[in-house]
Amino acid sequence: NSKVIQTPRYLVKGQGQKAKMRCIPEKGHPVVFWYQQNKNNEFKFLINFQNQEVLQQIDMTEKRFSAECPSNSPCSLEIQSSEAGDSALYLCASSLDNNERLFFGHGTKLSVL
Amino acid sequence: SQLAEENSWALSVHEGESVTVNCSYKTSITALQWYRQKSGKGPAQLILIRSNEREKRNGRLRATLDTSSQSSSLSITATRCEDTAVYFCATDTNTGYQNFYFGKGTSLTVIP
């Protein structure tokens, strides 16, 4: 069973609405990743953190997407104005180190109608 | 373009048979990982093989890595129905950026 907890499991939003999902990484893991997985199983890296600091993020996330990993609170990924193309499975993963095993949550399946 | 890619979209085998999934990648790496994703769940890591290793085993699983041809394989022996899943290879990048690139996955179906 995954020890990375993602909520909610399913999220349905209308176009233009805000969508927010949360992730509690595995205890003791300082590195957190967010990936978007589309219906064709393709992964797109969005952003990663180490101890609340952003390590890397793609250009897309700098516009409508925002994410944070505050200390003592769940990490979150927020889409300010959802678009149909944002419909996907959003996966959070945590790791002990940047280049080690990723532990994934079950994901949040976002449907933008 | 994909930096890591499995070579088959889908495979099916009968329970008890062996199967191999192949992966090719395009960058210099420090390690390659194999993940399995079952329906409705997040990926789970199976094996991590580093660039200085040629083979790694984990129970019924065996991964190989050939850095000269930039390819890897994952073999599963004595397959079981519960091995039915999508299998992904994932590579890091030896560029200082802390990221992992996943292939599109190979869907494996084990027929009872």
* pLDDT tens digits for range A59-103: 765 589 999 999 889 999 999 999 999 999 999 999 987 667 899
Query: What pLDDT sits at residue B51?
Result: 92
Number of domains in chain B: 1
Averaged pLDDT, B43-62: 96
DSSP β-bridge partners for residue A19: A79
Q: For A34-64, how does the pLDDT look when each residue is reduced to its tens digit (9 = 90+)?
A: 999 999 999 999 999 998 899 888 876 558 9
Q: Which residues of B touch A105 (CB under 8 A)?
A: 42
Contact B98 A41 (CB under 8 A): no
| Closest residue to A102, CB basis, from B45, B86, B104 | B45
Residue A13 belongs to domain spanning: 5-112
Give the C-alpha separation, B49 to B31, whole Å: 6
Q: Do residue B43 and residue A91 have CB atoms under 8 angstroms apart?
A: yes
Is the model's pLDDT at A24 over the cut of 70?
A: yes
Considering only CB atoms, A106 lies closest to which of B30, B42, B102, namely: B42
Residue A1's pLDDT band, with cuts at 50, 70 and 90, is low
- For chain B, give the mean pLDDT: 91
Q: Which domain holds residue B105?
A: 4-111
Number of domains in chain A: 1
Query: Which CATH number goes with the domain that contains B84?
Result: 2.60.40.10
The beta strands (E) that lie in A4-96 are given as 5-7, 10-13, 19-24, 31-37, 43-50, 53-57, 65-68, 75-79, 88-95
Chain B residue with Cα closest to A107: B42
Instruction: Examine the pLDDT at A5 and tell me if it is beyond 70.
Output: yes
Tell me if B30 sits within 8 A of B92, measured CB to CB. yes
Res. B98 pLDDT band, cuts 50 70 90: low
C-alpha of B54 from chain center? 14
**Top-confidence residue, B97 or B87:** B87
CATH of the domain at A55: 2.60.40.10
Note the pLDDT tens digit of each residue in B4-29.
Answer: 777 678 999 999 999 999 999 988 88
Q: What is the mean pLDDT of residues A14-25?
A: 97
Determine how β-strand A103-104 pairs with β-strand A88-95.
antiparallel
pLDDT higher for A2 or B108? B108
